[in-house]
Structure 1
Amino acid sequence: MTTILRIVSDCGGCFVMQESFLHRERQNTTMWFWLLVIMGFYFLFRWYWYRQILQNLTDKYVFITGCDSGFGNLLARQLDEQGLRVLAACLTQRGTEQLKEATSQRLQTVILDVTDSENVAAAASWVKQQVGDRGLWGLVNNAGISSPIAPNGWLTKNDFCKVLNVNLVGMIDVTLSLLPLIRKAKGRIVNVSSGAGRLSLTGGGYSISKYGVEAFSDSLRRELCSFGVKVCIIEPGAFKTHITDPKYFQETIKQIWSHLPEETKESYGKSSYDIYFKNMHSSVDVVSSKLSLVTDCMEHALTAVHPHTRYSAGWDVKLIYLPLSYLPTSLVDFLWSLVTVSLAKMLLKQDP
């Protein structure tokens, strides 16, 4: 009898345990269901929030620098097709003529060298005449250069200044000159940075300038928030434009190497030069030619009711630069050393 009671008691305990287990499973299933529902609503709301576009775009003026080619040229044509009043700044007369031929009569052009303060002041005065009392809705600081890029020990102060004066100091000069017009319109400032503004993997002034663009944009965004002005940062990866032309890089590296003191050449070794030279030649195979990935981000920053603070364009930025920028520095240094060693061995094996 005792044995029978013990068996019944054990069975009852098992039944209670099974019921408790099933209850917990139902609770977990319910929790995951509601979690998925909440996430679904969040992404649906986010999608709807960022898809809202401003009205009366044809009344808005946008000033874009660096419109001779590349992102600036494509964006000017893209916004002109959307009906915005584009004020395009080109470095050369030829650039202005070619852009006018490809766009409507709404688009106006001006010659601008962002490193020349007098030229910047004159361009700002011209913009003021164009926009009148409406103010300037959008400023896209797109003008930029990338070279010289080389090991820091190969470069001079002037090599760094050449890049910084265009990408950072010139951008700041243009922004400050047009800031009263942008505040008046409660408009947008779109600054073109780079994945290299998150992670510095090469020498020279390019990454330094783009880090500066990030810092200036962050401080400007917080400062102008109370004025109703939004500041957006575009962080493109490697795209096929004039600043990623491998032939231009190779010619620059040749010139830099030829002017180095013999002591520096011996210290770095001829293999370093060979690796850099071949790397610039092979880099053309990995850059993207779909420039619209970047200009679509710029257009959204200018025309969306709720623009993003940062836009990352290109898979190399999304999968390499951004993830690595969040890792511990020592780990990134270790991973990058492995990559550079492997790349050096591969390039040195190739035929010259």
Structure 2
Amino acid sequence: MWLYLLALLVFYFLCRWYRERQTVKNLTEKYVFITGCDSGFGNQLARQLDTRGIRVLSACLTQKGADDLKKATSGRLKTTILDVTSTESIAAATEWVKESVGDKGLWGLVNNAGVGSPLTPNEWLTKEDFENVIRVNLLGLIDVTLHMLPLVRRARGRVVNMASMLGRLAFFGGGYCPSKYGVEAFSDSLRRELIPFGVQVSIIEPGGFATSIGQNIKERLKSIWNQASSDVKEAYGQQCFEKYYRMHEFATRSSTNLRLVTDKIEHALTSCHPHTRYSAGWDAKLFFLPFSYLPTSLTDYVLTRFYPRPAQAV
């Protein structure tokens, strides 16, 4: 009996291994458009796909980012400037992509562009703080997708959206977690709508990576605290702020292996059987993902133990 079960298990994993390695044909003739290629995941992915011979169309926010990427890649890779918060900029980029792909259509759209936000309680923030993040991470992603979808449908291609484990489990305040929850919802509805057209939609859910937290985020936290009302400062206390600041020091020691994420995106673009969701990073697999399925009361109990204690806590 046990031998039959073991044989069945081995057969299952062999079939899965074989299925995972089936790749799309004629990749060198396919076009992939990536947003946010100045640095981080987008930059790494653009260089990675370029080495495979895929025709990469990279969108950077700055001219310097575009120039640096060109120097590091082959002549196949093309760049353009794109601000995902500007519909005019997105429309111009769409026309550029149309001219580049011609009748082939766009095989892959990778919505990678995004911004981070400090680890901070919601009460320290303003409506504008939320808007600044949501405008890029969610509304920009939606706007780019809506403009590019006709080209993706023509190629019966792929859409890959950068979400986050914080789109499953909100760990701190501000616009970052709501924006990533929104990406999850938009991607789910989009996937179901595009199935009849042969278009597949995948979601990437990274855990913590050092590229998403930088010195500018820490300086932004200082600015937020300095501008907080006297009532907020009294309720939370200077010691609470200092502990939140030190939490960013831990975040900067997160994984720097960007390929843990970009390999997932590459699989979503090149596999005959892409996944609906990809989690990336040890913390995503061992912490955030399991905790997202636990009862809310238990999750609240555990997560609140990580939060710095306010001065006026009861």
TM-score by length of 2: 0.96
| Alpha-carbon distance in 2 for matches of 1:273, 1:235 | 28
In the alignment, what sits opposite 1:332? 299
| Alpha-carbon distance in 2 for matches of 1:150, 1:159 | 11
Contact 1:148 1:163 in 2 (8 A): no
Which one of the candidate residues 223, 234, 245 is aligned to 2:193? 223
In the alignment, what sits opposite 1:233? 203
Q: Shift of residue 148 of structure 1?
A: 4.3
Q: Shift of residue 83 of structure 1?
A: 0.2
| Alpha-carbon distance in 1 for matches of 2:209, 2:307 | 21
The farther-off stretch of 59-68 and 139-148 is 139-148
Q: Tell me the C-alpha RMSD between the 2 structures.
A: 1.2
| Alpha-carbon distance in 1 for matches of 2:107, 2:49 | 13
Which one of the candidate residues 71, 74, 77 is aligned to 1:104? 74
In the alignment, what sits opposite 1:294? 261
Say yes or no: does 1:204 pair with 2:171: no
| Alpha-carbon distance in 2 for matches of 1:147, 1:340 | 16
| Alpha-carbon distance in 2 for matches of 1:225, 1:88 | 26
SS in 2 for 1:340: coil
| Alpha-carbon distance in 2 for matches of 1:315, 1:328 | 22
Q: Shift of residue 43 of structure 1?
A: 1.2
Contact 2:208 2:251 in 1 (8 A): no
| Alpha-carbon distance in 2 for matches of 1:70, 1:156 | 28
In the alignment, what sits opposite 1:116? 86
Contact 2:118 2:218 in 1 (8 A): no
SS in 2 for 1:89: strand
Contact 2:119 2:248 in 1 (8 A): no
Contact 2:210 2:251 in 1 (8 A): no
In the alignment, what sits opposite 2:235? 267
| Alpha-carbon distance in 2 for matches of 1:326, 1:296 | 25
In the alignment, what sits opposite 1:39? 9
Say yes or no: does 1:65 pair with 2:32: no
Matches within 5 A, 1:22-101: 30=1, 32-101=2-71
Matches within 5 A, 1:274-289: 274-285=242-253, 287-289=254-256
| Alpha-carbon distance in 2 for matches of 1:189, 1:336 | 33
Q: Shift of residue 55 of structure 1?
A: 1.2
Q: Shift of residue 339 of structure 1?
A: 3.4
Which one of the candidate residues 232, 253, 270 is aligned to 1:303? 270
In the alignment, what sits opposite 2:213? 244
| Alpha-carbon distance in 2 for matches of 1:331, 1:156 | 30
| Alpha-carbon distance in 2 for matches of 1:37, 1:197 | 38
| Alpha-carbon distance in 2 for matches of 1:148, 1:124 | 32
Which one of the candidate residues 147, 153, 157 is aligned to 2:117? 147
Task: Give the letter for the 2:204 counterpart.
Answer: I
Aligned residue pair count: 310
SS in 2 for 1:338: coil
Structure 2 unaligned segments of length 5 or more: list them.
Answer: none
In the alignment, what sits opposite 1:320? 287
TM-score by length of 1: 0.86
| Alpha-carbon distance in 2 for matches of 1:283, 1:180 | 39
Task: Give the letter for the 2:236 counterpart.
Answer: Y
Q: Which runs of 4+ in 1 moved over 6 A?
A: none
| Alpha-carbon distance in 1 for matches of 2:250, 2:180 | 24
1:102-157 CA-to-partner distances (Å, cap 9, x unmatched) read: 00111000000000000001101110010001100000000000124421001011
Q: Shift of residue 50 of structure 1?
A: 1.3
